Chain A
Amino acid sequence: MKAIVYVTIKENVLDPQGTAVQGALHTMGFGDVGKVRIGKYLELTLDTTDRAQAEEQVKAMCEKLLANTVVEDYRFELEG
């Protein structure tokens, strides 16, 4: 089974990288860009076919390591 994890900076936390990229896009003429937020994308391969167990495990991984919930949100999808 595969887990796709998205880690993003919380809405109320400043994202200096996103702000810099937004500025660059504006300079390039993409004036319609209102906001840019940069996050992380992780692909995990899991040696299990038990969906419920995988869900529980990936959640624990996110809470403990993959995201810092003080400043980041996470969501994930299970495939296969």
Chain B
Amino acid sequence: MKFAVLVFPGSNCDIDCFKAVEAIGEQVEYVWHTTTDLSGFDAILVPGGFSYGDYLRCGAISRFAPVMNEVKKAADEGKFVLGICNGFQILTEAGLLPGALIRNNGLKFRCHQTPLEVVNSATAFTNQYSQGEVISIPIAHGEGNYYCDDETLAKLQANNQIVFRYAGDTNPNGSVGNIAGVSNERGNVVGMMPHPERAMDQLFGSEDGKRMFTSILNAWREQHGAAVNG
């Protein structure tokens, strides 16, 4: 399986994403934001950072980068697209995911481990977790306050599109319904504020993020009937 890690001017979690894919033993390449062909990739990771300096709004300018047309195409083809932090903001700005990310209600940049509840373990991104499991994944954002209107929220709930919630009363940013991550209707595009790529080893305080990447691999293998190596 081959992963692409998009790189925008100002991305800063691209290396972590690259290493995370390496850690599960799959192929991965950096893809510059001006690229106009993603046909060789099975999954696309949109990493965190401050693309285009967060000018105007987080993700607002990146969504018009040439590579984003290809991300849309890949999503339409059913390929897996995961946006993390700034990547989540870019995917909402691009209309690939519903809602928007606004400033944290406490105004602070929050940077710490958070307990996340796996609300939907039936997605291609979470199949290695159990339903309702609480995992430990770090956050690092100033604008991660997920907002959508009531109608959209009802739709998200009805379609099981809420993938992660901040567990218990730990909501760090004031997001609607304690939402930390959502998927599109089809389930092949997920965006989340927490950073699974920073939770790949117990040395970092948690290795709970690893199963996100093995989930994607597992889903891809099931789709392609591929043999498991090693």
Interface residues, chain A, CB within 8 Å of chain B?
A: 9, 12-14, 16-17, 20, 65-66, 68, 70-71
Contacts and interface: CB of A to CB of B under 8 A. Distances in A.
Contact of A65 (B56, B99, B100, B149): B56
A70 B148 contact: yes
B10 interface: no
A65 B107 contact: no
Contacts of A68: 57, 60, 93, 100
A14 B56 contact: no
- Which size class do B's interface residues fall under? 20 to 34
Interface string B101-114: 01111110000000
A70 B174 contact: no
Given A65-B64, A68-B93, A16 B103 contact: yes
Interface in B145-159: 145, 147-149
Nearest to A69: B100
Contacts of A9: 102
A8 B77 CA distance: 36
A70 to B, nearest CB: 4
Given A68-B60, A68-B93, 12 more contacts: A12-B149, A14-B147, A16-B104, A16-B107, A16-B145, A17-B107, A65-B56, A65-B61, A68-B57, A70-B99, A70-B148, A71-B147
Q: Of residues A12, A14, A68, which shows the largest number of chain B Cβ atoms within 10 Å of its Cβ?
A: A68
B207 to A, nearest CB: 33
A20 B107 contact: yes
